[in-house]
A = this chain, B = another copy of it.
Amino acid sequence: MSPSLGDPDFLLPERKARIDEVVSHRTRTLTVVMEALCDPQNVNAVLRTCEAFGVQALHAIEGPQKRFDRNKKISQNADKWLDVRRWASTRECLGFLKAEGFAIYATHLGTDSVALGELSFAPKVALVFGNEHRGVSDEAVALADVNFTIPMLGFSQSFNVSVAAAITLARAVDRRVAERGRHGDLSETEAQALRERFYLLAVKQRTRIAKAERSEARRERHAARAKGSE
């Protein structure tokens, strides 16, 4: 009997192994907060970078004007594999994260800011990236445990937010391995739940691809017949 659609047995063993490997690198003890980003291209580039660095959960605080927008082309569908939680206000979002035990590190140049290289990633950390034009809000700065900056050596005043997120996350992963012993750190229960969810997503993806292939084959047969009867 062939496996039914929706059945994880429908997945090739290599695909399952790949999912298991990805899950082994996932973490929920490092997270990213996007505060009122206005460019969907930036939002989606940050999602893609988080996915590539194993950051499973993200938080998007809605800006006054634009809603969080999902762009498949840029994120390359990365958010399908992530948990993105939306918030109406900075206070609610950071309040939640503090209650969950996260240290809040906001990208902000102030008198008490420290350089990225000085940050400790021993605790659970939420990295806050601000709006492209205004930076992080005064509220985020006030609620943050630490404000930090990426040292800029040239005339440029700032990095693009997706570049800043990538530089910060690369550093965070290195430091977590050094300070915590490892980056990926889901509990076995969390890992099992995520593996099952990813298997299901992968089966759905495979089913869609199989359908697309069948209808493409049909189109080709029709085209061949049409050509033959010309």
Interface residues of A (CB under 8 A from B): 18, 22, 25-26, 45, 48-49, 51-54, 76, 78, 81, 117, 150, 152-156, 159-160, 162-163, 166-167, 170-171, 173-174, 183-184
Task: Write out the residue numbers on chain B whose beta carbons fall within 8 Å of the beta carbon of A184.
Answer: 153
Given A166-B159, A167-B167: A153 touches B54 (CB 8 Å cut-off): yes
Complexed CA–CA distance, A204 and B177 (Å): 48
Please state the number of chain copies in the assembly: 2
Complexed CA–CA distance, A53 and B154 (Å): 6
**A-B pairs with the 3 shortest C-beta distances?**
A25-B153, A54-B153, A51-B154
15 CB < 8 A contacts A-B: A25-B153, A45-B160, A48-B159, A49-B159, A52-B153, A53-B153, A54-B153, A54-B154, A76-B156, A150-B170, A159-B166, A166-B166, A166-B167, A167-B167, A170-B170
> Interface on chain A toward B: helix, strand, loop, or mixed SS?
helix
Task: Write out the residue numbers on chain B whose beta carbons fall within 8 Å of the beta carbon of A166.
Answer: 159, 163, 166-167
Task: Write out the residue numbers on chain B whose beta carbons fall within 8 Å of the beta carbon of A171.
Answer: 170
Complexed CA–CA distance, A81 and B22 (Å): 41
A202 closest partner in B (C-beta)? B155
Task: Write out the residue numbers on chain B whose beta carbons fall within 8 Å of the beta carbon of A54.
Answer: 153-154
Complexed CA–CA distance, A78 and B154 (Å): 9
Task: Write out the residue numbers on chain B whose beta carbons fall within 8 Å of the beta carbon of A173.
Answer: 153
